[in-house]
Amino acid sequence: MKIQWAALAAATALTIGLAVPAEAKSFRMAVAGDANTMDPHANNAGNTTLILRQVYEPLIHRGQKLEKIPGLATEWSNPSPNVWRFKLRQGVKFHDGSTMTADDVVFSIQRALAPTSDFKLYVSGITEAKKVDESTVDLITSTPNPIVPDGLPRVHIMSKAWSEKNNVQQPQNFRNKEETFAVRNANGTGPFMLRAREPDSRTVLVRNPNWWGWSQPGMGNVTEMVFTPINNDATRFSALMSGEIDFVLDPPVQNLEALKRNPKIKVLEGPENRTIYLSMDQKRDELLYSNVKGKNPFKDVRVRQAVYHAIDAEAIKSRVMRGQSVPTGSMWTEFVNGYSDSNEKRLPLDRDKAKKLLAEAGYPNGFEVTLDCPNNRYINDEQICVAVAGMLAQIGIQAKVSATPMGTHLPKLQKDDTSFYLLGWGVPTFDALYTLQALIRSRGQGADGSFNYGNYSNPKVDALIDQVKVELDLGKRRQLMIDALKLHNEDVGNIPLHHQMIPWAMASNVTAVHQSENQLDLWWVKVD
Amino acid sequence: MIAYIIQRLLQSVLVMAAVGFVAFSLFAYVGDPITIMLGQDYNETERARLAAQLGLDRPFYVQFANFVANAVQGDFGISYRLARPVNAVIRERLPATLELSLIAAFLALAVGVPMGVYTGLKRDSWLSRFFLTVSLIGVSLPTFLIGILLILVFAVILGWLPSFGRGETVQLGWWTTGFFTKSGLKALILPSITLCLFQLTLIMRLVRSEMLEVLRTDYIKFARARGLRDRAVHFRHALRNTLVPVITIAGLQLGAIIAFAIITETVFQWPGMGLLFIQSVSATDIPVMAAYLCLISFVFVVINFVVDLLYYAVDPRLRVDRGAVGGHG
């Protein structure tokens, strides 16, 4: 207890001392692409969130281990099944000096629910935000929903008065052919304030000395951040090597060795909350892109198992990914609620068994099929497909790789115009229902099966997933998700390959906290 | 004369319309912007809503007719990626591209012409051979490689010059310029060298061969016979005569410089129109791509038009011939 008091006292002393660090610490950062807008609810893209998360704040933050910690709400509870109640932090100021109130929170949640919002996913199930009193807000859900708090770290709180004054009560609507004020201006409560915004060129953030959170332990010392998008891999790499940039969020994989050898640079590696997987058309009676006529080999579980047994995920890791992947048998990562080691085991690499399974299924000489693949979305996506095709050739399956940009790949899948494809899936809610619903459940209403282009379908799995949606006991709910994945894995509904690793590269005097969503939290960054 | 101008103008309009149509039809194949905009949270209702907002649910010819009607008034709509009017975005990027292109064109002329004259006059000197060898590199190496090599040497190894960006800029009305700050000028050096290298070698070789050609003519022999000094012969007589084709080529190359700034801008993260175009392609930002292609074709059409008029003014034979043809018809 004594020690804690001492720590607290020390922290407070430090805070007072550090509230305005004596020395200006500038931090220059580069990423391949720029943020698309400063509107907090208009564009749910990684590069956009990367800037906005420094400026705006959610009700609930995520800590260094991705645990939910108080943000603009100090505590939250579930007083009745359809109500989530949030106690708001008092005395928080927006960057324009106004005080954050319950009205701002209600307004922001409703703005995130608007038809033009790109963040509806994170408030799904919420029907209404209600002010209870000046420091309390209720979120009402249509059905009991235990995971409301898990979506909220992505929902930023805006000032109602500022939005009304600048006529940005709704997120960007492309029908109004003009720029809204919120596209290049921001007024949040967060640790950094937007100073300059030149799209595709430069965005400058400065430290908000009045941020309530600076008093927490482990805070960084950056006073100014200059964000530059550098599209070209070689230039981004050079800018870091020459010391013009302190931090690169997406260093080119082919340059990692050179970066690691450079004593002035350090590389921080960690898994991303994203899983790369293969999927097969299991519904059609005849595959669209195959030489097998009159039947669909992928309908036979033995063929799917054979494909699985033929894939050497370790070889993909060492040869294609240069070590930057975690081979997996699970459809989601360890960061996600519903993860279990028991589902992690892959079917082992066993070509003889694969050949035997193929023969038993009636394809002793294999068959031909087209493997659709993106070529600009995931790390080395096209090369992974080429490697898989090589591995399948060894058991007689001739996979022809068709690699296209994501803008072409995904619409093709959305038309169900595929027999065999590669895709990656992240879990922004950190809850496995997100994956189970979109990738594994049969097609149905809403998000059910919305990305299940292989049309995997098992009524038992569907029943489990539907139970997850309404189960309020978190322990039981978690077990249901584990069971559903177990059944799916036995069916080989999809073939997970690996979790993608994301390396960050930075000058050796920079300390940053690696984060599986590939987002940098600037408030933890220290520059020595 | 007037008939000639009208004829050329009509041709220009036709070219623009064709470019517009080809550009617009291409967009059907570059991918689906909605997929990019919606990403992982895609669903059918969202898709329909956004398609309706963007007008992408209408048939192709309606979309094209709308595009042309708006484009004629200078309205290219709103960028899908940046959520801002395309005109405003392009106007912001235009100064960066124009400054870079003009500096590159100036460098190409200011260095290329003297080098061409020198190599034309002193064919066998070692410096001429050196220039010619170096110019081979300029012609044969791709722009992006030259850019990356320059970055490697001058930014990474020597640390003298910045590897990306435009440095600090000064605002003059809506125009931003890097000419008045030290970092702005430093940032110009590597990209402008990269961009001008190809044109520079082209101009140098053109001037050289023209010089060699002109120096063999009787006119030069007579000038020498008149006892004029070498200097007067070389510069007043020979060089002047070589400059007519050089100016034509240089004019046309200016258009090429502006258009091919795409690669240089991408390598140096130069915030101009070329970089904007590349980023728009990866995001399937159709309004920006359409506006850019129209603008570039407009630049070419205008330059061609001016060059045609210049021919007409400069070359009296053209006028006589046309008149004669008209008379016969």
Q: Tens of pLDDT along B274-329? A: 989 988 887 778 888 888 888 888 888 888 888 777 777 666 666 655 544 444 43
Q: Which residues 278-337 of A are in CB contact (within 8 Å) with B?
A: none
Interface check for B287 against chain A (CB to CB < 8 A): the answer is no
Cα(B143)–Cα(B100) distance, integer angstroms: 15
Q: How far apart are CA A218 and CA B171, in angstroms?
A: 40
Low-confidence winner among A321-330, A424-433, B111-120, B248-257 (lowest mean pLDDT): B248-257
Query: Is residue B312 within 8 Å of B319, Cβ to Cβ?
Result: yes
Superfamily the domain A272-501 falls into:
Dipeptide-binding Protein; Domain 3 (3.10.105.10)
Q: Are the beta carbons of A243 and B269 separated by less than 8 Å?
A: no
Q: How far is A134 from chain B (nearest CA, A)?
A: 34
For helices A381-393 and A301-310, the axis angle rounded to 10 degrees is 110
Least reliable range by pLDDT among A208-222, B11-25, B161-175, B237-251:
B237-251
**Listed residue (A438, A321, A426) closest to A381, CA to CA:** A321
CB pairs under 8 A between A and B: 135
pLDDT at position A199: 84
Task: Provide Rg for chain B, Cα atoms.
Answer: 24
Judged by CB atoms closer than 8 Å, whether chains meet at A179 and B151 is answered as no
Q: Mutate which of A200, A245, A375, A413 to test chain B, going by most B C-beta atoms within 10 A?
A: A200
**B318 has a chain A CB within 8 A of its CB:** no
Most confident of A315-319, B34-38, B275-279: A315-319
User: How buried is B321 (Cβ within 10 angstroms: 0-12 exposed, 13-18 middle, 19+ buried)?
Assistant: exposed
Query: Does A520 have pLDDT greater than 90?
Result: yes
Contact B31 A405 (CB under 8 A): yes
The mean pLDDT value for A514-523 works out to 90
Point out the least confidently predicted range of A290-294, A465-469, B295-299.
Answer: B295-299
pLDDT reported for residue A23: 67
Closest-CA distance, A193 to chain B, in angstroms, reads 20
Can you give the pLDDT at residue A2? Answer: 42
Better pLDDT: A152 or A9: A152
Intervals of CATH 3.10.105.10 along chain A: 272-501
Nearest chain A Cα to B276, which residue?
A: A200
Tell me the C-alpha distance between A339 and A332, whole Å.
7
The nearest CA of chain A is from the CA of B42 a distance in Å of 8
Mean pLDDT of A472-497: 95
pLDDT reading at A357 higher than 60: yes
A450-464: average pLDDT: 93
End-to-end CA distance of chain A, in Å?
32
CA distance B103 to chain A (A): 20
User: Is pLDDT above 70 for A442?
Assistant: yes
What percentage of chain A carries pLDDT values higher than 70?
Answer: 94
CA distance A422 to chain B (A): 14
DSSP state of A282: -
Average pLDDT over all residues of chain B = 82
Percent of chain A having pLDDT more than 90?
66
Q: What is the model's pLDDT at position B40?
A: 59
Q: Which amino acid is at B40?
A: Q
Give CA–CA dist A316/A390, Å, rounded: 11
pLDDT at A441 over 50: yes
Rounded (5°) CA angle A152-A501-A49? 30
User: What separation in angstroms does the CA of A152 have from each of A51, A83, A350, A468, A514?
Assistant: 17, 15, 44, 20, 21
Report which of B42, B192, B12 is spatially closest to residue B102, judged by C-alpha positions. Answer: B192
Partners of B275 on chain A (C-beta within 8 Å) are 200, 231
Please state whether B238 falls in left (phi above 0), alpha (psi between -120 and 50) or beta.
Answer: alpha
pLDDT of residue B104: 92
Over range B101-121, report the average pLDDT. 89
CB contact burial A450-482 (16+ within 10 A = b; e otherwise): bbbbbbbbbeebbebbbebbebeeeeebbbbbb
Distances (CA, A) of B94 to A9, A179, A254, B250: 56, 19, 34, 21
Q: Does B278 touch chain A if contact means CB atoms closer than 8 Å?
A: yes
What average pLDDT score do residues B249-265 get?
84
State the residue for tokens 């709910």. Answer: A477
A271 pLDDT band, cuts 50/70/90, is: confident
Q: Contacts of residue A36 in chain B, CB cutoff 8 Å?
A: 81-83
Which residue has better confidence, B37 or B120? B120
- Higher pLDDT pick, B124 / A98: A98
B164/A199 touch (CB, cutoff 8 Å), yes or no? no
Question: According to the model, what pLDDT value does residue A467 have?
Answer: 92
Contact A408 B31 (CB under 8 A): yes
Backbone angles phi, psi at A432, to 5 degrees: -65, -15
Asked if residues A191 and A46 have their Cβ atoms less than 8 Å apart, the reply is: no
How close B29 gets to chain A, by Cα (Å)? Answer: 8
- Structure token pair of residue A517: 């969503």
pLDDT at A322: 84
Q: What's the rounded mean pLDDT across residues A262-270?
A: 91
Residue B219: other Cβ atoms inside 10 A: 14
* Least CB–CB distance from A235: residue in B75, B81, B267: B267
Residues in contact with B172: Cβ distance below 8 Å, sequence separation at least 6, in sequence order: none
The per-residue pLDDT for range B40-51, each reduced to its tens digit, is 556 667 777 777
Average pLDDT over residues A468-497: 94
**Distance (Å, whole) CA A506 – CA A512:** 9
On average, the pLDDT of chain A sits at 89
What confidence category does residue A256 fall into, taking pLDDT thresholds of 50, 70 and 90? confident
Copy the structure tokens of residue B132: 């010619």
Q: What is the pLDDT of residue A443?
A: 87
- Domains within chain B, CATH numbers bracketed: 2-72 (no CATH), 91-328 (1.10.3720.10)
CATH, domain A23-233+508-527, list 3.40.605.10, 1.10.630.10, 3.30.365.10, 3.40.190.10: 3.40.190.10
Q: What are the residues whose beta carbons fall under 8 Å from the beta carbon of A91, sequence distance 6 or more?
A: A99, A212
Which of A410, A488, A482 has the alpha carbon at shortest distance from A456? A488
Which H/E stretch holds residue B29?
none
> Residue A174 is nearest to which of B78, B156, B269, comparing CB atoms?
B78
Question: Which alpha helices (H) appear in A142-192, and where do they start and end?
Answer: 148-151, 160-165
Please return the burial class of A129, using the count of CB atoms within 10 Å of its CB with bins 0-12, 13-18 and 19+.
Answer: buried
Q: What is the pLDDT of residue A176?
A: 63
Q: Rounded to 5 degrees, what angle do the CA atoms A129, A50, A410 make? A: 85
**Mean pLDDT, rounded, for B1-28:** 81
Give the CA diameter of chain B.
Answer: 87
Inter-chain CB proximity B43 and A446 less than 8 Å: yes
Please compute the mean of the pLDDT values over residues A346-355 and round it to a whole number.
Answer: 95
Residues 31-50 of B with CB under 8 A from A: 31-33, 35-43, 49-50
| Substitution target from A238, A255, A439 for chain B, most B beta carbons within 10 A | A238
Contact criterion met (CB below 8 Å) for A410 and A376:
no
Q: How far is CA B140 from the centre of its chain?
A: 19
- Work out the average pLDDT over B245-253: 78
Q: Give the C-alpha separation, B79 to B285, whole Å.
A: 6
Q: Which two tokens stand for residue B136?
A: 């081979």
What does the alpha-carbon distance between residue A514 and residue B41 come to, in Å, rounded to a whole number? 25
Average pLDDT (B87-103) is 90
Residue A224's Cβ-side half-sphere holds a number of Cα atoms within 13 Å equal to 10
B292 touches chain A (CB under 8 A): no
**CB-based contacts of A90: which residues, under 8 Å, 6+ apart?**
A135
Look up residue B89 and give its two tokens: 């975005």
Encode pLDDT of A8-56 as tens digits: 444 444 444 444 444 678 999 999 888 888 999 988 878 889 999 999 9
Compute φ and ψ for A118, nearest 5 degrees. -100, 10
Question: Quick count: other Cβ atoms within 10 Å of Cβ A404?
Answer: 17
Give per-residue pLDDT as tens, B112-160: 888 988 888 888 888 888 888 888 887 888 888 889 899 989 988 898 9
pTM, entire model: 0.80
Bigger pLDDT: A51 or B217?
A51
Instruction: Spell out which residues of chain A touch residue B35, defining contact as CB-CB under 8 Å.
Output: 406-407, 410-411, 414
Put simply, the answer to whether B269 touches A451 (Cβ < 8 Å) is no
Q: A308: Cβ–Cβ under 8 A, 6 or more apart, which residues? A: A346, A347, A492, A495
Report CB contact under 8 Å: A42, B82: no
Answer for the pair A68, A82: CB distance below 8 angstroms, yes or no. Answer: no
Least confident of A307-316, A355-364, A410-419, A479-488: A410-419
